[in-house]
Amino acid sequence: MTPDHDRSRSPGGRVPLPDLLRGHRLAAGLTQAELATRAGVGVRTVRDLERGRATRPQRTTVDLLADALGLTGPARQAFLAAARPAQTAAPHLPAGDSDAVAPHLPDATTAPRPAARHLPVTGSATTDSGTPIALPQPVPLLGRDRDVDEVAALLSEHPVVSLVGLAGVGKTALALSVAYAAAADHPAGVTGVLVGEGSDAADVLAASVAVLGVNRLADLPCRLGGRSALLLVDAVERAPGPVAEALRALVAAAPTLRVLVTGRRPVGLPGELVRPVAPLDVPPLGQEPADVAELARWPAATLFIARLAQARREPPTRAELPALAALVRRLGGLPLAIELMAARGRILDVTELLDRYGDRVLDLAGVRPGWEAADPAAGTVTLREAVATSYHLLAPAERAALRRLSAFRNRWSVELAEDLLADGGERRDAVPLLDRLRELGLLSVRGTGRLRFRLLDAVRDFATEQAAVEGELTGIRRRHAVVVAGLVRRTAPSLVGAELPAAVHLLDEATSDITAALAHAAEDDPATALLLAAALPRWWRLRGRDVSGRRWLRRLLADPRTADASPVLRAWALLGSARLAAEHGAGGVELPAARNALAIFQAAGDVTGELSARSVLCTLLSAAGTQGQAREQAEAALELATRHGRIRETAVAHQHLTWHDVRAADLAAARRRLATVDRLATQCGEPRLRLLARADLAEVTRLEGRYVDAVEQGRRVASALVELGEPGRWRQVFGTVGLALALDGRAAEALEVVAELRPARRVPGQRRPPGVEVLDPPGERRDVPPEEVVCALIEGHLALHRGDRELAVEWFSAAAESAGGGGERRDLVEALVGLAASTGDVAVLDRLDRACRATGIRLLPREEALLYALVARRERAGRGD
């Protein structure tokens, strides 16, 4: 089927655009929705064009539709001609605070047209230095001060500076501000021209020399007289070839002329300096704003708040602030998107905006100011169309690469891009591609670290849509999961030792990619998902994600599609699940899994795996109360690590054995062993292990009765653990601080610790270690968290110190009951000692004696002294003394 050329024609003899479009679409076998998706435009745009409601479509929209229909040669020329009725010249370049206000300026073409189709910008001003300016007054910009200064400085070094970027990113607004800021450096004047659709080089040149004050190019050098002038050329994407030809002639004729260009792509001149315009900065992920002032530190949020104020009278409420931060992040800081979204605040609050539009920002549409009211449909713009125009400037191979890169959810490196783009294992240099994407404003480059590249959110969403249209999405996501798994597995060994902070930071940066890779691979490629998850437990533990991380491991291990995975890989996954379970009091459930992992590592001769398994078993067996077995595992690990010269693992084994010295009430031996741990950790460059040894030393100091020293040591370590992560160890050492405070009678400080440790009692604004999870695994019994036992002990000691024995009995009984169900048996003994001191009940003493014999724990000298005094008092009371 072909377009019907016998239907009614326009007065010029051409087939009307609605008929041509409908005919070509039907000939291609496409629905309106399918054509819109393929072209990257809104389905409403296609519908309005076919119904004749949009009589002056944008040239870029027509080009996108022609590309999607596969039109070439005469058919394409006829299609483009049908879309270009007679138009009038634009009177001037309108002012605005961003391209979001005027993302596409009206065409400056006519048919028939006068000789100068590019009219100068009208209006005039004069700087203090006497420089004449024929440009609209700029409005204040948000977050662009540095950009203005940098671009103004570049104009002194380069004849042509091009501001490139997506429609709506703020190129025109920035150019106007730069022109005024740099006016003093251009005494011959500052002026500008607006490029229109279909212009030729003669028109651009004629308009340019006219606004510069001459009739012929040859007269321009005399007019400037060796002084510098600045010419702003806006919207060069409408006629890039003619603009390049005209500017080449201008720069050659007048060396003192400086040209500032705006467009979606560079002009392509020798000596041209391309300066991409990035979106506005957005609030970082994970940082909840406390108030509007804090949120307003980020230019994207400030712009949204300002535009929201135009839509409604009430400022954002405190409850709306998290949604506002999330919304501007989702909009990628793009001023056009922010303008369009804020306008909907007339009807919806910010939370409703996020819920309704957060997942479909590409569909945002609005009416462009400056278009004639007689044809409002021609003035509508969607974010999808704005991105599609830049996307279609890429070559087919570049588009395919962009679709692949859309799999990354956050920042990435050149190496990761090359891994993702590799075909059949063959890596290619990605630098030229990234430079091209940056040149078109599709790619953001921030910072100096390896992970400094990021697709703009709207670009990523659009490219993902195009990947789905091409049937590539599953394959791209599968490759992304493989690449992310490789990154994690390369980084995981550095989660110990001196490189720990850098490794944690790298994985923190990749958090959203790790999450996306796990989610997609778990459905489509579980073997890769297991490979990825098995390398993550140490990072999950450091970031307090023990509950969710363990869920992932258990889910993937239970998936029948991973049954054929390497036994050693499955062993690492089993061990990881057990390690994470210990963090939230569910270690007893994972004892069989840890033993199974140990057997697999031994059979495979994997020394590293065996040492890790024995270390995890030490923790699980101690928590289960089987201290003898725990000591056997620690001694076996010490022997194996010493035999193989593993310094770090030797230190870890000594750290485990420290607590068996404490069980035996040999605190001096525990101190010596911790000194050994500190020495070995220093020798192997393990600052984290040294920090954990100091945390254990604070507890030993408390048990010695040196409460002031224990508080001081514990607080120093706790602060360092907050920075490092380690929420589980943070809770332990903070509990040590609280107990030392309570035993020292410092009630107010001790109760602050209780409030900090108990999530249910936490008050707003209190500090918490980052990333702590407090969720129970569903369908699973979980022991009482150790911090609850510690809190009960703190309350009991405080009550006993102030003489409230009845309340002390309640707290110590609760602590003994909770500790009796699992966890550290030293807590049980301490609770029973406190209970005995509170009641003087012989039955409690008998229970304490049974607990000590069952666990092998010996009482500390101060505990024996307390109980001896209690027994002596009872004997004196019995004699009536």
Q: What is the pLDDT of residues 587-599, one digit of tens each?
A: 889 999 999 999 9
Which percentage of the chain shows pLDDT scores above 70? 86
Q: Pick 256 or 109 by higher pLDDT.
A: 256
Q: What is the pLDDT of residues 548-563, one digit of tens each?
A: 999 999 999 999 999 9
For the residues 17-37, what does the mean pLDDT come to? 82
Round to whole Å and give the CA distance between 460 and 334.
13
Question: Does 243 have pLDDT greater than 70?
Answer: yes
Predicted local confidence at residue 788, as pLDDT: 84
Predicted local confidence at residue 366, as pLDDT: 64
Predicted local confidence at residue 419, as pLDDT: 95
Question: Does 650 have pLDDT greater than 80?
Answer: yes
Strand partners, 193: 120, 233
For the residues 784-807, what does the mean pLDDT come to? 88
Round to whole Å and give the CA distance between 549 and 594.
16
Which percentage of the chain shows pLDDT scores above 90? 53
Instruction: Count the Cβ atoms, other than its own, within 10 Å of residue 53.
Output: 14
Sorted by sequence, the CB contacts under 8 Å of residue 564 that are 6+ apart come out as 527
For the residues 1-20, what does the mean pLDDT come to? 55
**Whole-number average pLDDT of the chain:** 84
Question: Does 620 have pLDDT greater than 50?
Answer: yes
Predicted local confidence at residue 770, as pLDDT: 35
Predicted local confidence at residue 609, as pLDDT: 96
Question: Does 32 have pLDDT greater than 90?
Answer: no
Predicted local confidence at residue 424, as pLDDT: 73
pTM of the entire structure? 0.77
Predicted local confidence at residue 824, as pLDDT: 54
Question: Does 367 have pLDDT greater than 80?
Answer: no
Round to whole Å and give the CA distance between 607 and 48.
70
Q: What is the pLDDT of residues 408-459, one digit of tens each?
A: 998 999 999 999 999 777 888 999 999 999 988 899 888 778 899 999 888 9
Q: Pick 266 or 60 by higher pLDDT.
A: 266
Work out whether strand 190-194 and strand 229-234 pair parallel, antiparallel, or are unpaired: parallel
* Maximum average pLDDT range among 21-35, 131-145, 161-175, 512-526: 512-526
Predicted local confidence at residue 545, as pLDDT: 92
Predicted local confidence at residue 84, as pLDDT: 67
Q: Pick 688 or 869 by higher pLDDT.
A: 688
Question: Does 106 have pLDDT greater than 70?
Answer: no
- Integer-rounded Cα Rg, in Å, for the chain is 36
For the residues 314-328, what does the mean pLDDT come to? 92
pLDDT band at 540 (very low <50, low <70, confident <90, very high): very high
Q: Pick 650 or 96 by higher pLDDT.
A: 650
- Integer distance in angstroms from the first to the last C-alpha of the chain? 117
Question: Does 576 have pLDDT greater than 70?
Answer: yes
For the residues 29-53, what does the mean pLDDT come to? 81
- Residue 761 DSSP symbol: G
pLDDT band at 771 (very low <50, low <70, confident <90, very high): very low
Round to whole Å and give the CA distance between 457 and 452.
15
Predicted local confidence at residue 196, as pLDDT: 80
Predicted local confidence at residue 42, as pLDDT: 76
Predicted local confidence at residue 585, as pLDDT: 79
- Tokens 């002990």 -> residue: 793
Q: Pick 416 or 777 by higher pLDDT.
A: 416
Question: Does 79 have pLDDT greater than 80?
Answer: yes
Round to whole Å and give the CA distance between 740 and 734.
10
Q: Pick 737 or 624 by higher pLDDT.
A: 737
Predicted local confidence at residue 527, as pLDDT: 96
pLDDT band at 257 (very low <50, low <70, confident <90, very high): very high
Question: Does 111 have pLDDT greater than 50?
Answer: no
Helix (H) or strand (E) holding 444: strand 443-445
Question: Does 663 have pLDDT greater than 70?
Answer: yes
Question: Does 530 have pLDDT greater than 60?
Answer: yes
List C-alpha distances in Å: 635 to 42, 76, 639, 642, 728: 69, 81, 6, 11, 24
Q: What is the pLDDT of residues 270-281, one digit of tens each?
A: 889 999 998 999
Sorted by sequence, the CB contacts under 8 Å of residue 282 that are 6+ apart come out as 298, 300, 301, 325, 328, 329, 331, 332, 333
Question: Does 55 have pLDDT greater than 90?
Answer: no
Predicted local confidence at residue 784, as pLDDT: 57
- Tokens 């597995």 -> residue: 489
Token reading at 249? 């002639």
Round to whole Å and give the CA distance between 619 and 823.
10
For the residues 8-37, what does the mean pLDDT come to? 74
pLDDT band at 399 (very low <50, low <70, confident <90, very high): very high
Question: Does 536 have pLDDT greater than 70?
Answer: yes
Among 566-570, 593-597, 599-603, 833-837, the range scoring the smallest mean pLDDT is 833-837
* Maximum average pLDDT range among 86-95, 105-114, 134-143, 871-880: 134-143
SS3 per-residue string spanning 346-373: HCCCHHHHHHHHCCCHHHCEEECCCCCC
CA 315, 321, 323: angle at the middle one, nearest 5? 120
Q: What is the pLDDT of residues 149-194, one digit of tens each?
A: 999 999 999 999 999 998 888 899 999 999 999 999 999 999 999 8
